[in-house]
Amino acid sequence: MGASTRSVGVGESTRCCMAKLYFHYSTMNAGKTTNLLQSAYNYHERGMRTLILAPRIDERHGAGVVKSRIGLQARGRVFDANDDVLALVRADIERHGALHCVLVDEAQFMTRAQVWQLTDVVDVLAIPVLAYGLRTDFRGELFEGSQYLLAWADVLTELKTICHTGRKATMVVRVDENGRALTEGPQVEIGGNERYVSVSRPEFKKVTQGGGRIELSQTVFPIGTVSDD
C-alpha cells in the first residue's frame, strides 16, 4: 500500500494482535470529544496509559487542548499534516513506557497516509486506536481522514444526535449570520462552531437549496440545576 511511510522492525509484524482500529463518527455536537475523554479516563482509572492525538489545525482551545462542550478537557499530543503518526507513537513509548491506547480527536483532519499509519499502530504495535471525527463537511463531502477511516477501520460506530426537525441528524450545514446555508467556501474553517448546525438529510437538501433558514440560538442545558418537580 503506497500510503505506508515506514518499514516495520523484524518480528514486529508477527506479533499476536488483538487490538483494533475504531472509528466513532458523527455530525457536529454529538458528543465525540466527551466520549473520547471518557474513554481515556476509563483507561487511566485502571492504571493504563493513553496517548491523545490532536491536530494542530484545530486550536480553538489552544494547541493540543482537547475540550468538550460540557467542560471536560485534557492535554493531547499535537500532530501536523506531514507527521508520521506511527513514529510519534513509537517515540512516546520510548520516552514514557508501555502504552495501552491511542485516541485521536478530530480525526477527519488526518491525511490518507496518517490513517494508514494508525492501522500500523494497531497491526504492528498491537495498540488499540480510538479515532473520533466528523464524517462529512458542510457540502456533504467526505473529509479525507474520514474517507479512509471508513474504509480501513475494524469497527465503525455512529454517535447519534438529532436535527431540529426531530429526525436523526446525519449531515452538517454551515450558515451565515442570518441562518442561511452556505454551499461554497473552504472545507475547513476552524472556530465559529455556532455557524455549524447538524441536520437530517431532508433538511440539508431543503436549506442548501434555499428553502428556509436555521435558527442559530441554542438553548443552554442547565447543568447543575435541580428541578422543583
Q: What is the pLDDT of residues 103-136, one digit of tens each?
A: 999 999 999 999 999 999 999 999 999 999 999 9
Own/partner pairs, 140-146, CB within 8 angstroms, 24+ separation: 140/171, 140/204, 140/208, 141/187, 143/108, 143/109, 143/187, 144/108, 144/110, 144/111, 144/112, 145/107, 145/108, 145/109, 145/110, 145/111, 145/112, 145/114, 145/115, 146/23, 146/25, 146/107, 146/108
Q: What is the pLDDT of residues 132-166, one digit of tens each?
A: 999 999 888 999 999 999 999 999 999 998 888 89
Structural contact between residues 127 and 21, judged by C-beta atoms closer than 8 angstroms = no
Predicted pLDDT of residue 10? 33
> By CB neighbour count within 10 A (0-12 exposed, 13-18 middle, 19+ buried), where does 183 fall?
middle
Cell of 28: 457536529
Q: Across residues 53-82, what is the average pLDDT?
A: 78
- Burial code (b: 16+ CB inside 10 Å, e: under 16) for 150-159 equals eebbeeeeee
Kindly report the pTM of this predicted structure.
Answer: 0.79
How much helix, strand and coil, in percent to the nearest 5, is found in the chain? 30, 20, 50
Q: Is the pLDDT of residue 84 over 70?
A: yes
Predicted pLDDT of residue 6? 41
Q: What is the pLDDT of residues 207-224, one digit of tens each?
A: 888 766 676 555 554 555
**Domains of the chain (ranges, CATH numbers):** 18-160 (3.40.50.300)
* Residue 76 CA: distances (Å) to CA of 28, 97, 200: 20, 17, 32
Top pLDDT among 8 and 116 is at 116
Decide if 106 is catalytic. Answer: yes
Structural contact between residues 61 and 190, judged by C-beta atoms closer than 8 angstroms = no
SS3 of 32, please? helix
**Spatial CB neighbours of 226, under 8 Å, sequence gap ≥ 6:** none
pLDDT classification of 18: cutoffs 50, 70, 90: confident
Q: What is the pLDDT of residues 157-205, one digit of tens each?
A: 999 988 888 999 998 888 877 777 787 766 666 555 557 888 899 988 9
Structural contact between residues 28 and 134, judged by C-beta atoms closer than 8 angstroms = yes
Cell of 217: 440560538
Q: Which of 45, 59, 106, 203 is labelled catalytic?
A: 106
